[in-house]
Amino acid sequence: MAVEILETHRSFGGKQIKYRHTSKILKCDMTFSLFLPEETPDKKETPLIWWLSGLTCTDDNFSQKAAFQKYAAEQNIAFVMPDTSPRGATADSEDWDLGQGAGFYLNTTQDPWKENFQMYDYLTKELPEIVYPLLPNFSGKESIMGHSMGGHGALVLGLKNPQRFAAISAFAPISNPSNVPWGQKAFTAYLGDDQSAWSQWDATEILKTAGENHPPILVTQGTDDPFYEVQLKEEAFLSAAKAAGGEVIYQKELGYDHSYFTIATFIEAHIAFHQAQLDKGKR
């Protein structure tokens, strides 16, 4: 499938590249960004980490604000950053937390969204087939991380595809969307009023049946995050994690908020967490 390069920037010996392509699944043009570490004649195989951004974001937010490139270059890890929703001539909403910029990384079933908003299929079927050939010496090993709505997406995609992703991490994730306003609004619009259809897109509910063999999970949550008390409650998720077993690390960081300042502060630790799991081999 044809891809068009929109931007290329040199960064820590590697390249930060922005692409555009026409998505058959989303039925619109989409952008994504890719960080490739420096190529050398004796370069070892390169694993891939997926980054999913939050509400209102695009593929630019992480690439420009997270300060991850230095650590990714040092560890020889590629990163791919998809957009957060379909764009262009698709359904939209006047609300900032619904519609374009707020795809919630699921497959919608309700009008007017179902024509385009099939983000789960896009990320698990179409985009990988576009990205893999762009990776020189790709090892075949992958993991996934994200922020806020993207943290929800990383947890859901990682838990639903445990053989594909070696590890999952998230910053301030919406970990139990069925029980918080952001998730309830999106799920009602995208999936309908029948809450039994919501459970397959709720990380807490998925974890209840995942068992202990799910990928290791790391979560970082700032205590001064203004969305924490209402939107980012962790109790149900941690209860499900305890019952399931397996590795789940939940860290509260004193004084940190919901911004990319927090992500930039702890991204090195998250990359190290992923590197340790990627080094163990493909799941």
The residue annotated as part of the active site, out of 147, 214, 258, 274, is 258
The residue annotated as part of the active site, out of 148, 169, 175, 270, is 148
Catalytic residue list contains 258: yes
Catalytic residue list contains 225: yes
3-state SS track over the chain: CCCEEEEEEEECCEEEEEEEEEECCCCEEEEEEEEECCCCCCCCCEEEEEEECCCCCCCHHHHHHCCCHHHHHHHCCEEEEECCCCCCCCCCCCCCCCECCECCCCECCCCCCCCCCEHHHHHHHHHHHHHHHHCCCEEEEEEEEEECHHHHHHHHHHHHCCCCEEEEEEECCCCCHHHCHHHHHHHHHHHCCCHHHCHHHCHHHHHHHHCCCCCCEEEEEECCCCCHHHHCCCHHHHHHHHHHCCCEEEEEECCCCCCHHHHHHHHHHHHHHHHHHHCCCCC
Catalytic residue list contains 29: no
Active site residues: 148, 225, 258
